[in-house]
A and B are shown apart, each in its own frame.
Chain A
């Protein structure tokens, strides 16, 4: 029983990390129908900026986080303006390829600035694990869980009550209609990218505290795609629920199937589920169903 609980809880907290990364995908897709394959690199940039501030400029951690986030706002806006703006309304394949190109470009620049060596944050989160009954969890994962929940609440409230949030939903729903209502869709998309970059940076800082920062951290960007699809590409709660489900699923597969067939199931299980989900419910658990009309 303890074994099961431990697996369940560790899956849950890993799922929270996935949810954090998945938020960025969802936000961007919601407002501009773009899947950002460079999300992992945004994460990396955030992690590296915060790390540089803390390690080289001796900025206290909370201040460093705040500074990082404001820099990422600028980064998001700049990237949107320079790279993504020309692709509004372009074919899906062009947009996918553009974000893949963006990810290569960013990775190159990141390596030029920070190199490939694994860098570490000086122990910001205590590394003593927390004991919940029989179950043990690392503190950093608990923090991720808390941050994911907070972000979920913030975004839900934001989209529901703030005027910017409502305008964003309108733009996502129908760009032409939004334009005719006097909404600047370009501005909305720029805001979205800024928010997505900020969310990615938060995720990056937390992830970077788990096991140091090096360029292969960006790989998690691809690994959360099943989460996003499962939850629904345009659903914020979907990202969290999808994250939890995939996290737990991985954990269960790793705990019970790995010993049976010799390991490695953990990485592939989400993608197998992904195929099934796509066959049965392509728009995911909470995604908006698109009905094609001629």
Chain B
């Protein structure tokens, strides 16, 4: 037994080593053809894999579609994505792999925590970085000169919601606002500025309710919310957490109007919360599949080529597609010498660049990398999502 085990392991080890050797040898791209490689650090198997995987698919689909249409100004493009499973250790390694070994000039990232953790390296190595996170921590251009936000930051999204709500508010007293979120960098980045803005507008900030992203029950939080008599509550969380909140709020007869930000307002919430999601509002920085915008034609063409339709994708797919689109537009504008600073310069020349209607037009400059301050307000009505406003800003 002992003996067999030992040799079994030795063989396993040798096979692994041989495979690695083979893998290292064969990993290089075919020579001759020019290929532009952009890196990706996205969570596909970790705790945010449910939304990370479609985001990744969307970004990859964009690349595939562009290549099938003849490439970016004739060059093939490629997205080299590493799954980091929302693990900071792996994110750091993935970053080093992409920048120091593959040598990518720019990266599509994912979460708030890791984007924030990497922003120092990103600035030092001069790698333009477009993340799936729109955290306020990334907007300070002196601190993070290479991070770009392709949608309104979470703070701006909150401001849009509050401003819009305040304008609709017809009563004499000041409206009461509560914040519902989870205790992670993602969940809390908007709080400080958003609260200040709310008070400035004339809101009364009445409560903070913290809910774990994995929670299956939010009864106590919703009871406390009910006691605080908030008129409106801003949700920053994931679809699952939001569905829990909405269901328990309905159960307890909470009258508060909930407004979710980007990640808390999508098709999944409607599916998970069912009737409880009726009337729920959200800030929508990206369009949903099947909407009538020019960019949807390309997505449809791509899906047709795969034998799929809009039902097989969701908003996160569109978000990934659009993020890749803006990144490669920056690459196109950077010219022939593809370096980080050039791509940054390319991105910074974008003025009111419309990502084919998939999101609000973005503008980058060397003063600001907040792509936009615009988003739309949507509401769940009859189980579908209806827009209440056009693209609006808080200003």
- Chain A interface residues (CB < 8 Å from chain B): 3, 6-7, 10, 14, 17, 111, 115-118, 120, 123, 127, 129, 136-138, 141, 207, 210-212, 214-217, 219-220, 250-251, 254-255, 258-259, 262-264, 266-267
A259 to B221, CA, bound (A): 9
Q: Ordered nearest first, which 4 A-B pairs have the shortest CB separation?
A: A263-B210, A254-B220, A116-B49, A10-B219
What is the 8 Å Cβ interface bit string for chain B, positions 226-245, against chain A (1 contact, 0 not)? 01000000000001100110
Which B residues touch A219, using CB under 8 A? 214
A17 to B239, CA, bound (A): 22
Cross-chain contact A117 with B219 (CB below 8 angstroms): no
At the interface, yes or no: B50 with Cβ under 8 Å from chain A?
Answer: yes
Q: Which of B7-15, B72-80, B268-276 contacts A (4 or more CB under 8 A)?
A: B268-276
Q: In the assembled complex, how far is the CB of residue B280 from the closest CB belonging to chain A, in whole angstroms?
A: 15
Cross-chain contact B224 with A259 (CB below 8 angstroms): yes
Q: In the assembled complex, how far is the CB of residue A157 from the closest CB belonging to chain B, in whole angstroms?
A: 30
From DSSP, what is the main secondary structure of chain A's interface residues? helix
A129 to B275, CA, bound (A): 12
Residue ID in chain B nearest A264 by CB atoms: B210
Contact partner of B219 among A17, A123, A251, CB < 8 A?
A: A251
Cross-chain contact A116 with B240 (CB below 8 angstroms): no
- With contacts A138-B247, A211-B240, A211-B244 known, is A7 near B219, CB below 8 A? yes
Cross-chain contact A211 with B223 (CB below 8 angstroms): no
Cross-chain contact A251 with B220 (CB below 8 angstroms): yes
- Chain B interface residues (CB < 8 Å from chain A): 44-45, 47, 49-50, 52-54, 183, 207-210, 212-214, 216-217, 219-221, 223-224, 227, 239-240, 243-244, 247-248, 250-253, 268, 271-272, 274-276
Contact partner of B272 among A7, A118, A254, CB < 8 A?
A: A118
A61 to B94, CA, bound (A): 44
Cross-chain contact B274 with A7 (CB below 8 angstroms): no
Q: In the assembled complex, how far is the CB of residue A196 from the closest CB belonging to chain B, in whole angstroms?
A: 21
Which A residues touch B239, using CB under 8 A? 118
Cross-chain contact B52 with A116 (CB below 8 angstroms): yes
Q: In the assembled complex, how far is the CB of residue B204 from the closest CB belonging to chain A, in whole angstroms?
A: 16
Q: In the assembled complex, how far is the CB of residue A12 from the closest CB belonging to chain B, in whole angstroms?
A: 11
A-B contact count (CB 8 A): 104
Q: In the assembled complex, how far is the CB of residue A194 from the closest CB belonging to chain B, in whole angstroms?
A: 26
- With contacts A111-B45, A115-B53 known, is A6 near B223, CB below 8 A? yes
A220 to B220, CA, bound (A): 19
Which A residues touch B243, using CB under 8 A? 211-212
Which B residues touch A6, using CB under 8 A? 219, 223, 252
Q: In the assembled complex, how far is the CB of residue B255 from the closest CB belonging to chain A, in whole angstroms?
A: 14
Which A residues touch B52, using CB under 8 A? 116
Q: A10-B219, A215-B50 are in contact. List 18 more A-B contacts (CB 8 A).
A: A3-B223, A3-B227, A7-B220, A14-B219, A17-B216, A116-B45, A116-B49, A116-B53, A117-B50, A118-B268, A127-B247, A127-B274, A137-B251, A211-B216, A251-B220, A254-B219, A258-B210, A267-B212
Which A residues touch B275, using CB under 8 A? 127
Which A residues touch B216, using CB under 8 A? 14, 17, 207, 210-211, 220
A180 to B217, CA, bound (A): 49
Cross-chain contact B276 with A127 (CB below 8 angstroms): yes
Which B residues touch A215, using CB under 8 A? 49-50
Cross-chain contact A136 with B223 (CB below 8 angstroms): no
Contact partner of B223 among A7, A120, A129, CB < 8 A?
A: A7
A138 to B224, CA, bound (A): 18
A47 to B50, CA, bound (A): 16
Which B residues touch A251, using CB under 8 A? 219-220
Q: In the assembled complex, how far is the CB of residue A167 from the closest CB belonging to chain B, in whole angstroms?
A: 29
Q: In the assembled complex, how far is the CB of residue A87 from the closest CB belonging to chain B, in whole angstroms?
A: 14
Interface core residue of B224, B227, B243, B251 (most chain A CB under 10 Å)? B251
Which B residues touch A111, using CB under 8 A? 45, 49
Which B residues touch A127, using CB under 8 A? 247, 274-276
A138 to B227, CA, bound (A): 20
Contact partner of A262 among B210, B221, B252, CB < 8 A?
A: B210
Residue ID in chain B nearest A9 by CB atoms: B219
Q: In the assembled complex, how far is the CB of residue A249 from the closest CB belonging to chain B, in whole angstroms?
A: 11
Cross-chain contact B224 with A216 (CB below 8 angstroms): no
Cross-chain contact B251 with A258 (CB below 8 angstroms): no
5 A-B pairs whose Cβ atoms sit less than 8 Å apart in the complex: A120-B272, A214-B240, A216-B50, A250-B220, A258-B220
- With contacts A118-B268, A214-B50 known, is A266 near B220, CB below 8 A? yes
- With contacts A116-B52, A255-B224 known, is A263 near B251, CB below 8 A? no
Residue ID in chain B nearest A7 by CB atoms: B220
Which A residues touch B49, using CB under 8 A? 111, 116, 215
Which B residues touch A210, using CB under 8 A? 216-217
Interface core residue of B53, B210, B217 (most chain A CB under 10 Å)? B217
Which B residues touch A216, using CB under 8 A? 47, 50, 213-214, 240
Residue ID in chain A nearest B228 by CB atoms: A259
Contact partner of A136 among B50, B183, B252, B268, CB < 8 A?
A: B252
Contact partner of B253 among A3, A136, A254, A267, CB < 8 A?
A: A136
Q: In the assembled complex, how far is the CB of residue B126 from the closest CB belonging to chain A, in whole angstroms?
A: 33
Residue ID in chain B nearest A210 by CB atoms: B216
A116 to B238, CA, bound (A): 14
Residue ID in chain B nearest A108 by CB atoms: B45
Cross-chain contact A129 with B210 (CB below 8 angstroms): no
Cross-chain contact A264 with B240 (CB below 8 angstroms): no
A258 to B221, CA, bound (A): 8
Cross-chain contact A255 with B252 (CB below 8 angstroms): no
Q: In the assembled complex, how far is the CB of residue B234 from the closest CB belonging to chain A, in whole angstroms?
A: 15
